[in-house]
Amino acid sequence: MFARTTSKDRPLINKTCALRKSIIHARARILILFLALGSLIYTRASAQVAPATSPAWADLLGAYSEPATGKSVRIVVKGGQLICQSADGLAVAEFRLLQTVPGDVFETVETSSHQQVSFFRDKSGKIAGLKFSGHTYLRDSLNSSESASSTGSASSSLVSPAPFPGPMPPRLPQDLRGKLGDFASQDEKQVIILLERSKHLYLREAAGAEHLLNALSFTKERDRTSYTYSSNEAEAWVLAFKQRGFDPIWDIFTQIGPYHRFPYSVPTGSSSVNLVKPLRNIKEIRAAALAATPPEEKGPFRKDDLVELAKLDPAIRLDIRYATPNDFLGTAVYTQARAFLQRPAAEALVRALHRLQPLGYGLLIHDGYRPWYVTKIFWDATPESGKIFVADPAQGSRHNRGCAVDLTLYDLKTDQPVEMIGLYDEMSPRSFPDYPGGTSLQRWHRDLLRWAMESEGFTVYESEWWHFDYKDWREYAIGNIPFEKLDVGKN
């Protein structure tokens, strides 16, 4: 069941403008929505690879695109290892990278073959691109056809600490309600995003180019309105669609063919698209997880000093989803609705809160310290297509170490959570902290949270806007103590 919005406000003002009679744009590029979920196919490495610990590797992280085709690869760190993610339509293959010699040349580690991933730099020494599988990819921040001001992002790689996002933008104009979202061609290899920027509608291609759309005409047809939009280029995008009131539009017709909405991108979100069907009975998975043993680690580690977050400040509120059926598994996995962090991380969280309070916001906590057995439940219950959003228990999670927190903002005046681009634990591209869609206000809320957290030593996780890791997470061992056994009186 999808959320819908209604309004008594007037429809879009008609503009008398003649359509160009022959706007046909023969696009040969394949537009890829990187990491769009649905039927993700992973090629996982089986060889053991040394952990990615070199601080210089942070320069390599980010997205890279091939100029001629728009194909993309993404360099990320997962489980302490460097990963190259290569997309083709909705299929995503992962390759672990092994640095055999010092420098910018790596080898993929697979069961059948090895390939080179070779990075190259510009004259200033910054990473400019990479060569992989016979293709040359340029770093997106260097290959953008538009300025940062027009795309809303200075770089597609995640830079920490994030800057202050500036003044609060206005809310979404009424005439754009229901029109935003991610849309795919019939074969789902070409994807466009309709987003709002500066109270205007934009179309964004997967390669990053954005096009300002102007309303050409609208026609009332009983309870629906037919709209036509066009961009201003010589080879323009032309969009036509029908909308009932301000309900989400589901189908768009363009000069190169029809597009349909991805179900996850209903403007106000839909929890039904976030549910994962467990691979087997949760009771069986829980029993096996409780009987399992966390991976062995070599110390030394700091002594655990977990602090209960709800006791630190009245402006810290809890919404512990994993203690309720309102989570991605549709069943409770925690026995108590509580949240803990190691003391240095908890103190940094309070400092981040104090940055936000003068701006009118408090922190709503979804999760903190997570016993290891719960991480194993998540992993064993989640199909391969969703495992990018859950931690591998063989590596352990930063939640297990008490140095990761899942959270969002709430309005101190209304006590209501703010409007974000996607939902908590949503397994879709909207969860990425650099996802460019949605509204200006939604992106501003997301970026404000990130600014406050990263100003105090946290770093956002590259696949989840709500997940932040504290800088000292490596200094704590994986924990497996259930909430019931933690000292309730500790502060």
Positions marked catalytic: 464
Closest to 58 in 3D by CA, of 369, 475, 471:
471
Q: Where are the beta strands (DSSP E) in 39-145?
A: 62-65, 72-78, 81-88, 91-98, 105-109, 116-121, 127-132, 135-139
Q: Which residues pair with 342 in a beta bridge?
A: 306
| CA dist 170 → 25, 177, 305, 329, 418 (Å) | 34, 14, 42, 35, 14
User: CA 239 to CA 257: how far, in whole Å?
Assistant: 10
The whole-angstrom distance between residue 23's C-alpha and the CA centroid of its chain comes to 35
Report CA dihedral (57, 83, 66, 444) to the nearest 10 degrees. -80
CB 109 within 8 A of CB 124: no
- Inter-helix orientation angle 343-356/440-454, to 10°: 140
**Amino acid symbol at 194:** L
CB 42 within 8 A of CB 434: no
Residue partners of 40: CB distance under 8 A and separation at least 6: 90, 91, 92, 384, 385, 386, 388
Closest to 198 in 3D by CA, of 374, 440, 17:
440
* CA 320, 322, 327, 330 torsion-angle sign: negative
Burial class of residue 102, CB neighbours in 10 A (0-12, 13-18, 19+): exposed
Burial class of residue 65, CB neighbours in 10 A (0-12, 13-18, 19+): buried
How many residues are present in the chain? 491
CB 188 within 8 A of CB 261: no
Longest dimension (CA), the chain: 74
